[in-house]
Amino acid sequence: MKKILVLILLGLPLLACAQSQSAQETDAKETAAQQDPAERNKMLYSLGFLLGDNLKRQLVLDNEDDYKALSQGMRDSLLNKKAQTDIEKYKPQIVKKYEDDAKTIAAKRQAEQQEYLTNFAKEKGVKTLDNGAMVKLSRAGKGKNPKADSVVKVHYTGTLIDGTKFDSSRDRGEAFKTRLTDVIPCWTKAVQQLKPGARATVVCPPDTAYGNRPVGQIPPSSALVFDIELIDVGA
């Protein structure tokens, strides 16, 4: 994946995806969906679900009472009702909660990722490279390995350690061609371990991928897992 193209290839923001999908629909279908109350409810439910999913990535909500209080506040705001609390009074506590929860969530993610990396490194057949990237062949290839500056053609699927898919050339139905100097460090090293026809699981620690930068659906400081198939090696 080229560094310039990766922002597009590794999952667009929700709004951009929605706009892209809407552009592909016909005006007739859009009008029909808007007029169908059941479909509108499903759309709004889906939006609410996604908003909730986003909130839980930023906040620690421990129990049903937390959910009820949060949803009641959102409901009152959406219905333009008078707030049941002194909002200004609680703003400092809200800011502190976001800050504290961000640290808690980051620490939990770091622990989960370290556990994943440690366990994967112990699996049979895993090769750990000098930059920390790990490669596990599922199918051997034939021919010459690419060099660090080779142009390669691959199929790949990228996921987070929890299995969340953020990109796939297979889903697009088109192999990805790139020079290995133009991709994340993990790929530069790992793909050199493959011969044409080979397929492997490649696990990238955060510092061999995007570090502490969020990219598309990828949170900052994320370990990434790729299923890579090397199709061809060019000059």
Could you report the per-residue pLDDT of 178-191, keeping only the tens digit for each?
A: 999 999 999 999 99
When the pLDDT of each residue in the chain is averaged and rounded to a whole number, the result is 86
Q: Which residues constitute the domain of residue 141?
A: 126-233
Residues, the chain: 235
152 and 93 assigned to the same domain: no
Answer for the pair 190, 127: CB distance below 8 angstroms, yes or no: no
**pLDDT score, position 90:** 96
- Give catalytic status of residue 67 as yes or no: no
Q: Per the structure block, which two tokens stand in for 65?
A: 């009472």
Is there a catalytic annotation at residue 184? yes
Widest Cα–Cα separation across the chain: 71
Per DSSP bridges, beta strands 134-139 and 199-204 are: antiparallel
Query: Based on the domain organization, do 77 and 51 belong to the same domain?
Result: yes
Kindly state whether residues 107 and 172 are assigned to the same domain: no
One-letter amino acid for residue 156 of the chain: Y
Active-site residue identified among 167, 176, 218, 228: 167
> Would you state the structure tokens that stand for residue 130, as one six-digit string?
């000098």
Amino acid letter at 152? V
226 classed as catalytic: yes
What are the pLDDT digits (tens) for 128-161?
999 999 999 999 999 999 999 999 999 999 999 9
**Structural domain contains residue 81:** yes
Q: Kindly name the residue from 105, 116, 161, 166 that is annotated as catalytic.
A: 166
Residues 56 and 83 in one domain: yes
Q: Please say which residue of 89, 115, 141 terminates a domain.
A: 115
Residue 175 counted as domain residue: yes
Give the residue from 115, 148, 164 where a domain finishes: 115
Catalytic member of 176, 210, 218, 228: 210
Residue 35 lies in a domain: yes
Rounded CA-CA distance 158/226 in Å is 4
